[in-house]
Amino acid sequence: MNLRYTLSAASIAMVAALPAFAQSVTIPHAQGELTLDAAPEKVLVMDINTLDNFVALGLTPAGVPKGNLHGPAAVFDTDEFINVGTLFEPDLEAINAAEADLMIVASRSARAYPAVSEIVPTIDLSFDSGKVFEDVSHNLTLLGDVFGVQDRAAELVADLNTRLETLQAAAAGKGTAVVLVTNAGNLGTYGPASRLGWIFNDLGFQPLEENIDDRFHGGDAISFEYVLERNPDYIFVVDRDAGVGDNTGAAAALLDNDLVNQTTAAQNGHIIYLDPYSAYITFGGYNALVTLTDQILAGIQ
């Protein structure tokens, strides 16, 4: 099932109804720390993963990066929300005019921190792709503390822990796996240090090799011959084109060939197409991890 967001009138009003801090709160973050004297009411979010976590926590921001809203995040592309620019280029004028109490950047937008933090109190919730479950849990807990929704945050963290334990048990002894990335007709792979490295590091699947240069959008370039030669037990597929909004189903067409179809994974029905948006865009958000863990569990049981 693909990821979907639903915003209720209650959640839209929720940030404005937050309880006041009993005392000032200091928030450590990826680029320093920020002390708040009062609970923030008007919040600008310049990070798609944080938007995902806001939805999960029942929170709604005042401003979002409308230049990067597609898939489930398109629900924020309305006049109710201030446009703070794109993930890579903040609209400093709009941010200044918003007179917000807090701005959140992370990952793709982290480079904007020096500029936006001069205008509005800002925290950077960037996370380590090598420990996604741990860092997403940390960010959920932090947001729960800041916005007074600790109980909800604790529920989400407990759910992630349960999901991880269930998947670890189901994946035990399943053998080798490869994460394939399709991008404009090209084939690449993600390894243990990538955004989906937890498939190897946390679940225990054995990668085809350790040294994978997957710094680029389409992963480390490989061939279909390579896939057949290494012959993985499981193939996880990320359709980058669909993840960035070009939902053409190109990945399935590209991988339906004689070489891939000879692999053990294909012969056993172990090719798992991951939700593109969750796998490529919001892999550091609670809802995305729910979607991905559900898909992987269904595919390996």
pLDDT at 254: 95
Of 126, 147, 162, the position where a domain reaches its end is 126
Of the three residues 66, 95, 126, the one that is the final residue of a domain is 126
Q: Is the pLDDT of residue 5 over 60?
A: no
Over range 206-215, report the average pLDDT.
Answer: 81
Reported as a pLDDT band with limits 50, 70 and 90, residue 6 is low
Which domain covers residue 109, as residue numbers? 25-126
Q: Would 19 be classed as within a structural domain? A: no
The answer to the question of residue 138 being in a domain is no
Is residue 165 one of the residues assigned to a domain? no
If asked whether residues 294 and 188 sit together in one domain, one would say yes
119 and 177 both lie in a single domain? no
Phi, psi of 91 (to 5 degrees): -90, 90
Asked if residue 132 is part of any domain, the answer here is no
Are 292 and 189 found together in one domain?
yes
Over residues 13-36, the mean pLDDT reads 75
CATH number, position 225: 3.40.50.1980
Q: Per-residue pLDDT for 17 more than 60? A: no
pLDDT of residue 38: 87
User: Is 133 inside a domain boundary?
Assistant: no
Comparing 20 with 120, which gets the higher pLDDT? 120
- Do 41 and 106 lie in one domain? The reply is yes
Whether 25 shows a pLDDT value over 90: the answer reads no
Question: Same domain, yes or no, for 188 and 261?
Answer: yes
- The string of pLDDT tens digits covering residues 130-154 is 899 999 999 999 999 999 999 999 9
Q: What percentage of residues in the chain have a pLDDT greater than 90? A: 78
- Residue 10's pLDDT band, with cuts at 50, 70 and 90, is very low
Report pLDDT digits (tens) over 219-232.
889 999 999 999 99
Tokens of residue 169, six digits? 């048990």
Predicted TM-score of the model (pTM): 0.91
How would residue 182 be classed by pLDDT, with cut points 50, 70 and 90? very high
Q: Is the pLDDT of residue 13 over 50?
A: no
Whether residue 251 is contained in a domain is answered as yes
Q: What is the pLDDT of residues 273-282, one digit of tens each?
A: 999 999 999 9
Domain count, the chain: 2
Q: Are residues 111 and 40 in the same domain?
A: yes
Is 149 among the domain residues? no
Asked whether residue 203 falls in the same domain as residue 120, the answer is no
- Residue for token digits 């061939």? 223
